[in-house]
Amino acid sequence: MGEAEKIEVRDITRIERIGAHSHIRGLGLDDVLEARAVSQGMVGQKDARRAAGVVVQMVREGKIAGRCILLAGEPSTGKTAIAVGMAQALGTETPFTSMSGSEIYSLEMSKTEALSQALRKSIGVRIKEETEIIEGEVVEIQIERPATGTGQKVGKVTLKTTEMETNYDLGNKIIECFMKEKIQAGDVITIDKASGKVNKLGRSFTRARDYDATGAQTRFVQCPEGELQKRKEVVHTVTLHEIDVINSRTHGFLALFSGDTGEIKQEVRDQINNKVLEWREEGKAEINPGVLFIDEVHMLDIECFSYLNRALESDMAPVVVMATNRGITRIRGTNYRSPHGIPIDLLDRMIIIRTVPYTEKEVKEILKIRCEEEDCIMHPDALTILTRIATDTSLRYAIQLITTANLVCRRRKATEVNTEDVKKVYSLFLDENRSSKILKEYQDDYMFSEINELEEETTATGAGGGAKRRVDTGDGDAQPMEH
């Protein structure tokens, strides 16, 4: 009996890796878009979450195209977390494309093409079509194979609904589908007449007692009602980018799997836009605008910003959400400085959501959620020390210490992380402040140390009273200004 108790049953159908934001399930809002203190993995940032909830509502309605939202705030204030929360709140039906500002420079295509593809990946098209299907419960199935092992297979199947029963002869293609899906008597199936695709819906309730034990994934369904042959409306959801790739003559649909789509001509896109609008007029398709999230948006240059200005005016534009942690900085590709490193004319088109630094209480709550996500049992005193480390250094550094402290704890055969484990990993792994301090102390021992040169340059600049600086006056021209 002791041996039987030790048997551990593990479900290995789904294995998930724990990511930086895998604990977030949504924005944590109630029905009237009020933010709860702690909900769905989100903590604090009530105003920012409430504003993001309004944006999600706007996307769901799908009436307004080309709106631009900027998430601005200091590092480690949860900008990407809010974007992930928005993606979770929108669900799988709404396209959500996430990219980093620096991605566009590493691709084998022009920057504007990369942005154009990202924008079109964020626009979904629901295409409706009617197909004829045969739906019923399998009563009996007979497949005759040739004795030689080669040649045509011959088969018959008897399908029934609650009202009728019919025999069908099976062709070679359908027999292969039946064998692939492992169809047997008692299964409820659908057969698409046009494509010959066989889909197994589950086992019939009348056959529930056929076996003493069934697997967890076995699904029981009712025997279909009415006639065997039915007309069914099928909705296919694709993105505009997928339609572009399929219609691009040089690549074809196989490029969808390889990912090597290359540059797609503007004429192809214009024709697709016209066709999709035609389908919408006829009621065959619905356009479902989604969200494009661009993280580290200050990494884009002036050409990309100019392209976005134009692209956002299109009817077929998604809602664009951007995030940045920069203050007043240089716009990449120019010598001008601007808030967040974004040109003033594009900032005019945006609504800006600000994120604020977390309080100590909120930091503690976030660390507690991360401990649960990483299956780490932590003593309250150890959590208090980790919270103190997070407030003194950064939240990201403290989150990194959870897994490492858990590993140290497991090495000493314990189940709960205590204060000594946290102190040990704090001494083993440096944070940015302590690392900088060591570099300044031992700068002469490192290669290519430039700290002395930087100090000399700063001193020289400070001493030169007549030095001129160029100041952006806001009208596009930089004026020289005397010290």
Which range, of 211-215, 262-266, 372-376, 390-394, averages the lowest pLDDT? 211-215
Is residue 72 a contact partner of residue 353, using CB atoms and an 8 Å limit?
yes
- Domain-located, residue 451: no
Final residue belonging to a domain, choices 184, 199, 234: 234
Final residue belonging to a domain, choices 202, 234, 266: 234
The structure tokens listed for 108 are: 């084998």
Is residue 72 a contact partner of residue 91, using CB atoms and an 8 Å limit?
no
CB atoms within 10 A of CB 456: 10
- The reply to whether 247 and 337 lie within a common domain is yes
| Phi, psi (rounded to 5 degrees) for 183 | -75, 135
Q: What is the mean pLDDT of residues 339-365?
A: 90
At 322, the pLDDT band (50, 70, 90 cuts) reads very high
- The reply to whether 375 and 317 lie within a common domain is no
At 426, the pLDDT band (50, 70, 90 cuts) reads very high
pLDDT reading at 314 higher than 70: yes
Pairing of strands 291-295, 319-324: parallel
To the nearest 5 percent, what fractions of the chain are helix, strand and coil?
Answer: 40, 25, 35
CATH number at residue 385: 1.10.8.60
Nearest to 236 by CA among 374, 118, 130, 119: 130
Q: What is the mean pLDDT of residues 381-390?
A: 91
Q: What is the mean pLDDT of residues 338-358?
A: 90
CB atoms within 10 A of CB 84: 25
The number of domains in the chain is: 3
Is residue 60 a contact partner of residue 290, using CB atoms and an 8 Å limit?
no
At 255, the pLDDT band (50, 70, 90 cuts) reads low
- The reply to whether 227 and 132 lie within a common domain is yes
Between 483 and 302, the more confident residue is 302
- The reply to whether 49 and 87 lie within a common domain is yes
- The reply to whether 392 and 422 lie within a common domain is yes
Final residue belonging to a domain, choices 337, 354, 371: 354
Task: Read off the DSSP letter of residue 222.
Answer: P
Q: How far apart are CA 208 and CA 228, in angstroms?
A: 22
Write a three-state SS string for 238-303.
Answer: EEHHHHHHHHCCCCCCCHHHHCCCCCCCHHHHHHHHHHHHHHHHHCCEEEEECEEEEECHHHCEHH
- Domain-located, residue 185: yes
Distances (CA, A) of 232 to 160, 190, 225, 258, 384: 18, 11, 14, 33, 59
Is residue 94 a contact partner of residue 288, using CB atoms and an 8 Å limit?
yes
Distances (CA, A) of 238 to 25, 54, 94, 397, 462: 24, 26, 10, 40, 59
Q: What is the mean pLDDT of residues 340-359?
A: 90
- The reply to whether 249 and 350 lie within a common domain is yes
| Single-letter amino acid code for the residue at 32 | V
- The reply to whether 151 and 279 lie within a common domain is no
**Which residues are within 8 A (CB) of 145 and not within 5 positions of it... i.e. 6 or more apart?**
153
Q: How far apart are CA 394 and CA 412, in angstroms?
A: 28
Domain of 384 in residue numbering reads as 360-435
Instruction: Give strand pairing partners of 411.
Output: none
At 476, the pLDDT band (50, 70, 90 cuts) reads very low
Cα–Cα–Cα angle for 313, 238, 289, rounded to 5 degrees: 30
- The reply to whether 208 and 192 lie within a common domain is yes
| Single-letter amino acid code for the residue at 180 | K
pLDDT reading at 144 higher than 60: yes
pTM given for the model: 0.70
Is residue 420 a contact partner of residue 456, using CB atoms and an 8 Å limit?
no
Q: Kind and range of the H or E element at 192?
A: strand 187-192
- State percent of the chain over pLDDT 90: 10
Q: How far apart are CA 71 and CA 80, in angstroms?
A: 9
- The reply to whether 106 and 254 lie within a common domain is yes
CATH number at residue 311: 3.40.50.300
- The reply to whether 150 and 216 lie within a common domain is yes
pLDDT reading at 191 higher than 70: yes
